[in-house]
Amino acid sequence: MRDKRVYAAVAAVGVMGVILGSFLPWVRFTGPFGQFAKIGLEDDSDGIITLALGAMAVWGVASYYFERGRGLAQALLLTALGAGVIAVASLDLADTHGRVAGVLGDFEALATEGAPPGEELPFEFVAAEGLYMVLIAGINLFLAGLAALILPPQVSPTRDELPTEAPPPTSPPTESPQEETPSTDS
């Protein structure tokens, strides 16, 4: 038996991951001056978009949970929001170098002041845990909404819709067996 609470709980976990991941580092880079991280909400980054999608998803999960019936419109909304989060995170994963280009320019200027001309600076870029968390949580949100669409939950009747209790069935009166009296035949 499928229950709306299961889909809502799975979607809620995804929403929490999207919101939390927006505040975590999205890109880490290592250079001559050490290791630095850029969080998702820094410098008008795409973390603002995922945070806004996560806030809309909070409303979508609450609306889906408290809606009577199957909540198809809310499930469709959760699926679309999950797809949007996946798209933003995928684009940012593909453009890791571009995410730190502005900050990198400042570090290159500082690093090349005393370096011989033509020397290659050792910079390394990696996607950080916040971006992966947003991507995985977006997939979770998408799949929860899709499951609610494809495998609709069985809606429990409300208290008003429950049938009234019928009186317990009565059994027919039982007849006591007649005692056989011994006959005196002589």
Provide φ and ψ at 156, rounded to 5°. -80, 140
Residue 133 lies inside a defined structural domain of this protein: yes
Residue 47 lies inside a defined structural domain of this protein: yes
List, for residues 74-102, the tens digit of each pLDDT value.
999 999 999 999 999 999 888 776 665 65
Residue 174 lies inside a defined structural domain of this protein: no
Mean pLDDT over residues 138-142, rounded? 96
Mean pLDDT taken over the chain: 79
Residue 108 lies inside a defined structural domain of this protein: yes
- H-helix or E-strand containing 109? helix 101-112
Q: How many domains does the chain have?
A: 1
For residue 43, the enclosing domain spans 4-112+123-150
Q: How far apart are CA 34 and CA 95, in angstroms?
A: 22
Residue 104 confidence (pLDDT) above 70: no
- H-helix or E-strand containing 27? strand 25-31
Q: Which residue has the higher pLDDT, 105 or 154?
A: 154
Mean pLDDT over residues 159-172, rounded? 63
% residues pLDDT > 90 (the chain): 35
Q: How far apart are CA 142 and CA 131, in angstroms?
A: 16
Residue 156 lies inside a defined structural domain of this protein: no
Q: Which residue has the higher pLDDT, 33 or 76?
A: 76
% residues pLDDT > 70 (the chain): 66
List, for residues 39-79, the tens digit of each pLDDT value.
888 777 788 999 999 999 999 999 998 887 788 889 999 99
Q: Which residue has the higher pLDDT, 52 or 113?
A: 52
Residue 36 lies inside a defined structural domain of this protein: yes
**Is the pTM value of this prediction over 0.75?**
no
In 3D, which of 57, 75, 76 has the Cα closest to residue 6?
75
Residue 161 lies inside a defined structural domain of this protein: no
Angle, CA 9 vertex, CA 128 and CA 142 arms, to 5°: 55
Residue 104 lies inside a defined structural domain of this protein: yes
In 3D, which of 4, 1, 21 has the Cα closest to residue 132?
21
Mean pLDDT over residues 134-154, rounded? 90
Provide φ and ψ at 154, rounded to 5°. -85, 120
What is the CATH classification number for the domain harbouring 40? 1.20.140.150
137: left (phi over 0), alpha (psi -120 to 50) or beta: alpha
118: left (phi over 0), alpha (psi -120 to 50) or beta: left
